[in-house]
Structure 1
Amino acid sequence: MNSSGTTGSTGYSEDPRFRYYEDLVERGGLWATIVSVAREHRVDIGVTAERPESNTQAWSAADFASPRGAMRVNLGHGARRFAVTLDSNWGYVWASGSTADLAEVVEVMAFWRQGARLQELSKRFPFMEFDSLSQAYEDGNPVETQWDIVIGDENFLVYRELLLALHADPNLREMFPFFSHWTLRMTKDCYDSRSEEILIKPSAGEGYVIWSSLDPEEKREFSRLDDLIRAAVSILGDL
């Protein structure tokens, strides 16, 4: 090791994690190693370039494209593990998991690029897991499924009466509900992270405060659910 704290000609700073990934150092990082392993196993992961688009991901993270979003790989800590995330690029994850076998990583990516369904992926690679919402996105009914999830979530019992009232309205139940920082958010388009939203949270009293992402300073408070629902429908008409 030279006086700058790097290991030989690799240019990487000395790090205890390297003892688990010496082969990655020798091959030039995670991205280059995955590409090399894929070629050794004659597995097509869709790579045509010799280098990743960004050199910043070359050591500990690697991204690869697929028709359904980015396929991301990251290094584990404290042991040799490779974490695989099949991202949708729409704000949700299709499936994720980890394995110590880099050959399995490239096989997962190739299988996914070929159009494998979630159930097929999990059956062939049991370490790859997905939830009911990911399945709903694949089946084409994420909004309906998400309403079932949030209404049944024991962590948000205080919201259940409100959720049932919102879901009872035929227009509002077409929105995608989710919680963030104890605030209920309902978005018009679950496939667009920039879609306008209606936001609701409990007030200091016994009612709720409601506003829209279009006008976050215009907050209104209601103690009656009927009034709140009417306000939500009115806001939806302006989004």
Structure 2
Amino acid sequence: MSFWERGVGMAKGTTTSLNEAATATGAWQSGANLEDLRSACPFVHYGPLAEAHERGTAVETKWAIYRQTTAPHVEHDLIEAAYAEPHLRALFPFRSHMSLNFSRCTGFPYTHDVPVITPVNGKYRVTWWTTRSPHGPADIGEADDPRDAVALVVAHLPPECGPAVTGTANDLERSDSL
């Protein structure tokens, strides 16, 4: 079972008991928080990021996870350079295909209107995530240093690109159109 809320996989669990599944579904649909869900259904599990989403601190927690990871595929100099920039630190960071991305919302689908940084052969390629040309993502530029790549992203932020909000890109589009 998967328990989703506002574009975020909050918890999951496996059971062969129809009664346990019904209890978990009922609890989740009636608005139980993560702790109450796990208390009622011990087969359900969740992590610190789900707890952060529930508390409203998902952006800060996701940055902390990236800054503390020892995973070899995460480029720490790039993470630190992006984190040092207040405009980017206010956005929800996520990684996809070795690129560091930033979203104006905390749930999936994410926004894709902020440039992306991809480390390539010791350099940092900055592109638009969305297709801005018929041939794929459009290049913005290349930098030798992560700080310069971050500066390119900041120079191309969409107007009024404020802190990430709870919800999905679809939610944001609906609120922007109102």
User: TM (normalized to structure 2)?
Assistant: 0.78
Match of 1:141 in 2: 57
Q: Which residue of 1 aligns with 2:151?
A: 230
Question: Is 1:174 paired with 2:90?
Answer: yes
Q: CA deviation at 1:192?
A: 5.6
Identity of aligned residues (%): 27
- Secondary structure (helix, strand or coil) at the match of 1:155 reads coil
**Distance of 2:52 and 2:129 partners within structure 1:** 26
> Structure 1 residues 232 and 116 mapped into 2: Cα distance closer, same or farther (>3 Å)?
same
Of the structure 1 ranges 213-222 and 95-104, higher mean CA displacement relative to structure 2 is found in 213-222
User: Unmatched 5+ residue regions in structure 1?
Assistant: 1-83
2: distance between equivalents of 1:85 and 1:185?
25
Q: Which one-letter code corresponds to 1:85 in the other structure?
A: S
Deviations 1:68-97 (A, max 9, x none): xxxxxxxxxxxxxxxx1112251x211110
CA distance in structure 2 between the partners assigned to 1:222 and 1:110 by the alignment = 52
Q: TM-score, normalised by structure 1?
A: 0.59
Q: Distance in 1 between matches of 2:85 and 2:153?
A: 10
Hey, what's the Cα distance between the residues in 1 that align with 2:72 and 2:153? 20
Larger RCO (CA under 8 A, 6+ residues apart): 2
Q: Structure 2 counterpart of 1:178, which letter?
A: F
Give, as a single letter, the amino acid of the residue that structure 2 aligns with 1:198.
P
Match of 1:190 among 72, 97, 106: 106
Whose radius of gyration is greater, 1 or 2?
1
Aligned match of 1:21: none
Q: Does 1:221 align with 2:142?
A: yes
How many residues of Structure 1 are paired with residues of Structure 2 in the alignment? Answer: 154
Q: Does 1:85 align with 2:2?
A: yes
**Equivalent in the alignment of 1:118:** 34
In structure 2, stretches of 5+ residues that fail to align are 162-178
For residues 23-58 of structure 1, what are the alpha-carbon distances to aligned partners after superposition, in whole Å with 9 as ceiling and x for unaligned? xxxxxxxxxxxxxxxxxxxxxxxxxxxxxxxxxxxx
When residues 135 and 187 of structure 1 are mapped into structure 2, their CA distance, relative to the original with a 3 A threshold, is same
Using a 3 Å threshold, how does the CA distance of structure 1 residues 117 and 194 change in structure 2: closer, same or farther?
closer
**Conservation of the 8 A alpha-carbon contact between 1:122 and 1:129:** yes
* Alpha-carbon distance between aligned partners in 2 of 1:102 and 1:189, rounded to the nearest angstrom: 35
- The one-letter code sitting in structure 2 at the alignment partner of 1:221 is E
